[in-house]
Amino acid sequence: MPIIPARLEHSADGVPYSSTFDDIYHSADGALGQAQHVFLAGNALPERWQGREHFVILETGFGLGLNFLATWAAWRADPQRCKRLHFVSCELHPFSTEDLARVHARWPQLAAQADALCAQWPALTPGLHRLHLDNDQVTLTLYFGDAREGLAQLLARADAFYLDGFSPARNPELWSARIFHLLARLAAPGATLATWSVAGEVREGLRRAGFEVRKAAGFGGKRQMLCGILANSETRSQTDEQALPARGHALIVGAGLAGCSMAERLAARGWTIELIDQAAGPANGASGNLAGVLRPLPSLDDNRMSRLTRAGTLHGWAHIARLRARGLAVQADACGVLHLARDGAQAAKMQAVVERLGLPASHLSHVDADAAARIAGCTVAAGGWWFAGSGWVQPPSLCAANLAASGQSLHTHFGRKLAQLERQGGLWHAYDDQHRLIAAAPVVILAAGVGVLELDTGMRLPVVSARGQVSLLPAASASPPRVVVCRGGYVSPEIDGLRCAGATFDVDDSEPALRARDHADNLGKLEAMLPGFTHGLDATALRGRVGFRPASPDRLPMIGALPADGTAAPRAELAGLARQAGLHVLSGYGARGLVWTTLAAESLASALCAEPLPLERDLWEALDPGRFLLRPPRPGRTAE
């Protein structure tokens, strides 16, 4: 369902108002006073987050984000604040950045937080969005869509709930029995709730869902409000907190896109990292190309691939922006990507996808051949999809920036090939082929690309090696195409005097040397996209690069804990599969390493730290390496 943005309106007395719901966004007696009295104090905050490693707040309606901003400001002002604050919220009708900024301007005391929020405000696309704020210590996870679906898809344990829909009479969906039961399912032991509503059906619904509720003194003109606690649950104990692997220590095997992103995400959480790679430095495997494309793959039914690649693309570009804001150089350009239609039938389908999904034009639109040619600056074979916010990234520069961002907690072990992993006394020991210890830690993450095939992982992952060759073409500065163009293959704009055109895809072909026929193949794809473009290019005289993609049978990566038993269990459930203690994998990135790398690392890091996940439940399960035990890949099926 396309997201319909909220329209900024005001009531007669100047309070932000929704004509869709015929209600105001916050108490006429003051938004911040209400946030402070009802939501913070009603959940015994800031006291309850003090001394904690992390604290999770879940809100039902994000609206103008004023509760969030007030909570963030209170957290900042508290010297005993928890180390990391997670705020998770759902919003069916998000505001545009401009409208948010307009409203926030009324509260100059929140300007720093409001500006940071607006600077990262995501595209209004359905699903989960994660924002990293305040030096990565405050994480905002937003679900754009109906909370009834969002809460069912959320993987989180909330310590406090802010129930803030419009009034139950005007917005009953947000106060329904279904919502209350979903909240109870997401509640951590000792979870509390607060709301300004004391409506009888709200109290009764919460009780039925398992909360004990009581009335308390209300805010402003409201005599009463409601506070609650999850019944029959002990307050989160010291032992619960100690069970969290805070300030952990991990071995990461592989310093390509997968491993470097993982190092950065764990380092941001204070972990110590031992990064092992057989090569002399990072990005020497599949991640060593001059440029790759970072863009989504939409579908008519917005299937998992479509949702995952959209989330991965948006998260990936936001991460690059954050790295750059820290002064780290990532060579990349969101110059836009044209995906040309193969034929008339595909052109019609592409147009139908754009209409059906109704995504913001900054993310996806449809252009005819003339418009595509104007965008590219040269003749193109057809029209197609225009991803205005997508573009190219140089993978080695992203790897280097991620490692630089990891700082002092990163220890690199380059030029060391992992031959064996042994678990002794709660630690995984990594040995080389002489049985010399490289490093040891309680957690291992295998991010070894196709190298995972040589490692004894218990379960044999169905990764296949897919050889790919790119061709590097000489290019004059700012010559067309000025954007990435793809269709079967892809070509980048000019980058440092070269243009990257690719790529071949050959499964189980281990030839490391460049081949003229593969260059010819790349030129053939290029000519089909940009007629006349390859005139004068000699396939026997081109430079290029060969890499081996770790491809997956269903084209989705494998992210998460490795099953303990590698035998097929078609009747089991993912949650029921026994896992190997502390052994995780990031693999199967195939032809979309740039798309997966940041979101996969953030997801696995969140799972390792028992934090809310940035992915919906069905998407996270679709990536579980255990899925192949439930439905083994069909014989003969290859990736891409």
The option from ligand FAD, ligand SAM, none interacting with 468 (CB < 5 to 8 A, set by class) reads ligand FAD
- For residue 415, report the phi and psi dihedrals to the nearest 5 degrees: 70, 20
Residue 146 touching ligand SAM (CB under 6 A): yes
Binding site residues, ligand FAD, CB under 6 A? 253-259, 276-279, 284-287, 289, 292-294, 395, 417-418, 447-449, 451, 468, 470, 502-503, 547, 549-550, 589-595
Per the CB < 8 A criterion, the answer to whether 124 and 360 are in contact is yes
To ligand SAM, the closest distance from the beta carbon of 24 in angstroms equals: 8
To ligand SAM, the closest distance from the beta carbon of 70 in angstroms equals: 8
To ligand SAM, the closest distance from the beta carbon of 100 in angstroms equals: 10
Closest CB to ligand SAM among 40 and 470?
40
Q: Which stretch binds ligand SAM (CB under 6 A): 65-73, 195-203, 222-230, 604-612?
A: 65-73
To ligand FAD, the closest distance from the beta carbon of 438 in angstroms equals: 9
Cα–Cα distances in Å, from 392 out to 234, 386, 395, 450, 468?
50, 14, 9, 23, 17
Phi-psi group of 303: left, alpha or beta (phi > 0 → left; psi -120 to 50 → alpha; rest → beta)? beta
To ligand FAD, the closest distance from the beta carbon of 356 in angstroms equals: 25
SS (H, E, C) 442-482: CEEEECCHHHHHHCCCCCCCCCEEEEEEEEEEECCCCCCCC
The one among 3, 41, 138, 174 contacting ligand SAM by CB under 6 A: 174
The option from ligand FAD, ligand SAM, none interacting with 560 (CB < 5 to 8 A, set by class) reads none
Closest-CA residue to 292 (of 333, 328, 323, 254) = 333
The option from ligand FAD, ligand SAM, none interacting with 522 (CB < 5 to 8 A, set by class) reads none
- For residue 472, report the phi and psi dihedrals to the nearest 5 degrees: -105, 120
Per the CB < 8 A criterion, the answer to whether 427 and 508 are in contact is no
The one among 27, 36, 43, 67 contacting ligand SAM by CB under 6 A: 67
The option from ligand SAM, ligand FAD, none interacting with 65 (CB < 5 to 8 A, set by class) reads ligand SAM
Alpha carbons 312 and 318: distance in angstroms, whole number:
10
The option from ligand SAM, ligand FAD, none interacting with 256 (CB < 5 to 8 A, set by class) reads ligand FAD
Closest CB to ligand FAD among 37 and 584?
584
Residue 165 touching ligand SAM (CB under 6 A): yes
Cα–Cα distances in Å, from 569 out to 379, 435, 632, 633?
53, 34, 9, 13
Closest-CA residue to 393 (of 556, 534, 136, 592) = 592
To ligand SAM, the closest distance from the beta carbon of 459 in angstroms equals: 39
The one among 75, 121, 161, 166 contacting ligand SAM by CB under 6 A: 166
Residue 296 touching ligand SAM (CB under 6 A): no
Closest CB to ligand FAD among 38 and 286?
286
Phi-psi group of 327: left, alpha or beta (phi > 0 → left; psi -120 to 50 → alpha; rest → beta)? left
Closest-CA residue to 548 (of 492, 514, 583, 506) = 506
The one among 3, 73, 92, 441 contacting ligand SAM by CB under 6 A: 92
The option from ligand SAM, ligand FAD, none interacting with 485 (CB < 5 to 8 A, set by class) reads none
Task: Report how far apart the first and last C-alpha atoms of the chain are (Å, whole number).
Answer: 28
Residue 616 touching ligand SAM (CB under 6 A): no
Per the CB < 8 A criterion, the answer to whether 37 and 158 are in contact is no
Residue 63 touching ligand SAM (CB under 6 A): yes
To ligand SAM, the closest distance from the beta carbon of 59 in angstroms equals: 6
The option from ligand FAD, ligand SAM, none interacting with 171 (CB < 5 to 8 A, set by class) reads ligand SAM
Closest-CA residue to 596 (of 308, 231, 297) = 308
Residue 29 touching ligand SAM (CB under 6 A): no
Closest CB to ligand FAD among 94 and 451?
451
Residue 61 touching ligand SAM (CB under 6 A): yes
Cα–Cα distances in Å, from 493 out to 91, 237, 575?
38, 56, 45
To ligand FAD, the closest distance from the beta carbon of 508 in angstroms equals: 14
Alpha carbons 114 and 133: distance in angstroms, whole number:
11
The one among 43, 141, 171, 261 contacting ligand SAM by CB under 6 A: 171
The option from ligand SAM, ligand FAD, none interacting with 64 (CB < 5 to 8 A, set by class) reads ligand SAM
The one among 56, 88, 90, 615 contacting ligand SAM by CB under 6 A: 90
Cα–Cα distances in Å, from 94 out to 8, 86, 144?
10, 19, 7
Residue 173 touching ligand SAM (CB under 6 A): yes
Strands 384-387 and 337-340: antiparallel
Q: Which stretch binds ligand SAM (CB under 6 A): 91-99, 222-230, 323-331, 573-581?
A: 91-99
To ligand FAD, the closest distance from the beta carbon of 276 in angstroms equals: 5
Q: Which stretch binds ligand SAM (CB under 6 A): 89-97, 216-224, 371-379, 512-520?
A: 89-97
The one among 58, 66, 85, 251 contacting ligand SAM by CB under 6 A: 66
Closest CB to ligand SAM among 10 and 460?
10
To ligand SAM, the closest distance from the beta carbon of 466 in angstroms equals: 41
Per the CB < 8 A criterion, the answer to whether 546 and 467 are in contact is yes
Alpha carbons 431 and 445: distance in angstroms, whole number:
15
Alpha carbons 2 and 93: distance in angstroms, whole number:
10
The one among 25, 72, 196, 628 contacting ligand SAM by CB under 6 A: 25
Residue number, nearest CB to ligand SAM: 61
The one among 52, 53, 85, 91 contacting ligand SAM by CB under 6 A: 91
Alpha carbons 360 and 144: distance in angstroms, whole number:
13
Alpha carbons 384 and 367: distance in angstroms, whole number:
6
To ligand SAM, the closest distance from the beta carbon of 143 in angstroms equals: 8
Q: Which stretch binds ligand SAM (CB under 6 A): 55-63, 389-397, 612-620, 626-634?
A: 55-63
Strands 579-587 and 558-563: antiparallel
Alpha carbons 454 and 433: distance in angstroms, whole number:
12
To ligand FAD, the closest distance from the beta carbon of 289 in angstroms equals: 5
DSSP state of 95: P
The total of other beta-carbon atoms located within 10 Å of residue 281's CB is 14
To ligand SAM, the closest distance from the beta carbon of 94 in angstroms equals: 8
Alpha carbons 445 and 579: distance in angstroms, whole number:
14
Closest-CA residue to 450 (of 510, 380, 523) = 510
Closest CB to ligand SAM among 63 and 502?
63
Q: Which positions lie near ligand SAM, rule CB under 6 A?
A: 6, 25-26, 59, 61-67, 90-93, 146-147, 164-166, 171, 173-174
